[in-house]
């Protein structure tokens, strides 16, 4: 989207905000008391600040809905409410459509393959999600020290591997400032974790 043309936020976005709030009602961030909607709003803010359009902003609000709140049934509801483009972005940002989820490394490697081929809308929403998560991790490490890594099933090594793999998958494909920001946060995480 051009800087000359601001993103128009319509009633579709307002509806998606209410829908995301309802879908994730009662859900908190991993091992915290922070309502999950804070994450969704943060990711959406990053998407809009990176020049994302309304479809990308709606997808950012709903990027975890399929994985966490109903699988393919939820994806179909998103498609019906917000259209094919939003559903495509949400689907591409989903690393598991079933419960129980496949093993962590297998899910992440499959997701990386999708990301390498993804269109710019998917890349933008995915990068915003990873920047938000990496920043949250950085803040936790600054406050809690190395104990913060215990929030991750794969620990520090797994989390850092995944962030580096995202960077590698998008390094030659994305021109977004979000990729630069992710690199900087990961470098700081590594420095604090030595």
Candidates 55, 67, 140, 181; catalytic one: 67
pLDDT for the residue numbered 16:
97
In whole angstroms, how far apart are CA 101 and each of 60, 67, 97, 98, 108?
Answer: 21, 9, 8, 6, 11
pLDDT for the residue numbered 2:
44
Selected residue with higher pLDDT from 105 and 27: 105
pLDDT for the residue numbered 1:
47
pLDDT for the residue numbered 127:
97
Dihedral pair phi/psi, residue 28, rounded to 5°: -115, 165
Mean pLDDT of all residues belonging to the chain: 92
pLDDT per residue as tens digits for the range 175-190: 889 999 999 999 999 9
Reported as a pLDDT band with limits 50, 70 and 90, residue 76 is: very high
The domain spans of the chain are 11-192
Distance of CA 186 to the CA centre of its chain: 16
What span, in angstroms and rounded, lies between the C-alpha atoms of 98 and 27?
A: 18
pLDDT for the residue numbered 125:
97
> Mean of the pLDDT values across residues 134-155?
92
pLDDT per residue as tens digits for the range 31-43: 678 899 999 999 9
- Residue 172 above 90 pLDDT? no
- Residue 85 above 70 pLDDT? yes
Selected residue with higher pLDDT from 142 and 151: 142
Say whether 68 is catalytic: yes
What residues contact residue 107 under an 8 Å CB cut-off, 6+ apart? 95, 96, 101
Reported as a pLDDT band with limits 50, 70 and 90, residue 4 is: low
Reported as a pLDDT band with limits 50, 70 and 90, residue 133 is: very high
What residues contact residue 138 under an 8 Å CB cut-off, 6+ apart? 185, 188, 189, 192
pLDDT for the residue numbered 175:
82
Q: Is 49 exposed, middle or buried (0-12, 13-18, 19+ CB in 10 A)?
A: exposed
Kindly report the CATH class assigned to 11-192.
mainly alpha
pLDDT for the residue numbered 178:
96
- Residue 80 above 90 pLDDT? yes
């Amino acid at each position: 989207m051009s800087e000359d043309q601001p993103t128009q936020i319509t009633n579709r976005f307002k509806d998606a905000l209410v829908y995301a709030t309802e879908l994730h009602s009662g859900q908190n961030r991993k091992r915290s008391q922070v309502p999950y909607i804070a994450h969704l709003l943060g990711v959406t803010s990053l998407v809009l600040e990176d020049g994302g359009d309304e479809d990308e902003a709606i997808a950012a609000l709903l990027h975890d809905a399929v994985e966490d709140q109903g699988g393919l049934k939820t994806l179909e509801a998103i498609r019906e409410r917000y259209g094919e483009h939003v559903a495509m972005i949400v689907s591409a940002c989903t690393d598991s459509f079933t419960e129980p989820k496949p093993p962590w490394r297998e899910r992440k490697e499959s997701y990386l393959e999708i990301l390498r081929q993804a269109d710019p809308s998917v890349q933008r929403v995915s990068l915003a999600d990873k920047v938000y998560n990496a920043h949250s991790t950085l803040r936790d490490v600054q406050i809690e020290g190395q104990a913060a890594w215990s929030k991750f099933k794969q620990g520090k090594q797994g989390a850092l591997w995944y962030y580096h793999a995202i960077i590698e998958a998008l390094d030659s494909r994305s021109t977004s400032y979000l990729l630069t920001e992710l690199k900087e946060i990961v470098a700081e995480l590594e420095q604090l974790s030595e």
